[in-house]
């Protein structure tokens, strides 16, 4: 009788140990994934703020991407270890955040397009084409033939920011990266930039922001053509009335 009880206890202890060995990696992996996802959620808030700061910088600096990248890097600097003074902030901005944005960040202008400059562009005394930023609502609701935008809509600067956030938590980061790679296989808008970030163990985080231009936007290559933005939905103008 005693021998049977001892044998039963050994079997119970063995089954509990086996269940622990099987469940522990799963529980540990899920816990690490939750920690990593919390950090990603925090980084998303910084990227959304960075997109707004980049759009504001572009609105004030004639739609140039250089000031936008600087503003984005400044917004993402707190992700590079908290700073204790303004000097530490500037050091991390110059040595870590700015190079990181150049390598693992991307800023795309979604609006205005090059066609908007054809419809609503004006020329200065040097012959340069620009979009005005004052009294744009006085231009009426007339839509341009090429851009399909009114002057008020054409002078809205819409910026899309994509940043590759490093996944540094063991197991948790790997699980999130595998899920992101599986989702990208079915995503139509996933490009080489996003795949490169995932290959480098970085999660692409995308945010957009729209502001009104506060300076003249000079025509340049940073503005895309409408055909380069198939995912951007634009309203078509109402059909013209025919007088009978």
Question: Is 240 part of a structural domain of the chain?
Answer: no
- What's the domain count of the chain? 1
Angle at 34 between CA 30 and CA 40, to 5 degrees: 140
Count the helices and strands in the chain (H runs, E runs): 8, 6
Question: Is 121 part of a structural domain of the chain?
Answer: yes
Q: How far apart, in whole angstroms, are the C-alpha atoms of residue 88 and residue 76? A: 14
DSSP helix/strand/coil, 133: coil
Looking at residue 190, its pLDDT comes to: 65
Tell me how crowded residue 165 is: count the other CB atoms within 10 A of its CB.
22
Looking at residue 24, its pLDDT comes to: 53
Question: Is 243 part of a structural domain of the chain?
Answer: no
β-pair partners for 217: 131
Question: Is 143 part of a structural domain of the chain?
Answer: yes
Looking at residue 29, its pLDDT comes to: 66
Question: Is 234 part of a structural domain of the chain?
Answer: no
Looking at residue 237, its pLDDT comes to: 45
* Tally of CA atoms within 13 A in the half-sphere of 62 that contains its CB: 8
CA separation (Å) from 206 to 68, 179, 236?
A: 15, 17, 27
Looking at residue 7, its pLDDT comes to: 44
Question: Is 237 part of a structural domain of the chain?
Answer: no
Question: Is 239 part of a structural domain of the chain?
Answer: no
Looking at residue 166, its pLDDT comes to: 93
Q: How far apart, in whole angstroms, are the C-alpha atoms of residue 12 and residue 2? A: 15
Instruction: Please write the tens of the pLDDT for every residue from 220-242.
Output: 999 999 888 855 554 444 454 44
pLDDT along the chain (244 residues), means of 10: 50 52 62 82 95 97 95 92 79 92 96 93 90 79 85 93 92 81 71 90 95 93 86 49 44
Looking at residue 31, its pLDDT comes to: 72
Instruction: Please name the helix (run of DSSP H) or strand (run of DSSP E) that holds residue 243, with its range, or none.
Output: none
Looking at residue 137, its pLDDT comes to: 75
User: Which of 105, 65, 56 has the alpha carbon at shortest distance from 218?
Assistant: 65
Range of the domain at 52: 2-228
Question: Is 59 part of a structural domain of the chain?
Answer: yes
């Amino acid at each position: 009788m005693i021998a049977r009880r001892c044998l039963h206890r050994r079997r119970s202890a063995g089954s509990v140990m086996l269940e622990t060995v099987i469940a522990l990696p799963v529980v540990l992996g899920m816990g690490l994934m939750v920690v990593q996802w919390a950090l990603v959620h925090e980084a998303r808030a910084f990227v959304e703020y960075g997109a707004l700061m980049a759009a504001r910088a572009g609105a004030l600096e004639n739609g140039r991407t250089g000031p936008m990248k600087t503003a984005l890097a400044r917004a993402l600097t707190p992700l590079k270890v908290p700073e204790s003074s303004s000097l530490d902030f500037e050091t991390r901005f110059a040595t870590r955040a700015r190079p990181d944005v150049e390598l693992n960040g991307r800023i795309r202008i979604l609006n205005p397009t090059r066609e908007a400059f054809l419809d609503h562009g004006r020329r200065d005394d040097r012959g340069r084409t620009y979009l005005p930023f004052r009294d744009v609502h006085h231009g009426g609701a007339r839509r341009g033939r090429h851009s399909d935008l009114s002057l008020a809509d054409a002078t809205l600067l819409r910026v899309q920011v994509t940043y590759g956030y490093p996944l540094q938590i063991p197991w948790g980061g790997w699980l999130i990266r595998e899920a992101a790679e599986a989702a990208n296989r079915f995503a139509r808008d996933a490009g080489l930039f996003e795949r490169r970030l995932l290959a480098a163990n970085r999660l692409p985080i995308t945010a957009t922001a729209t502001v009104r231009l506060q300076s003249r936007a000079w025509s340049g290559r940073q503005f895309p053509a409408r055909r380069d933005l198939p995912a951007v939905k634009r309203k078509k103008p109402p059909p013209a009335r025919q007088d009978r």
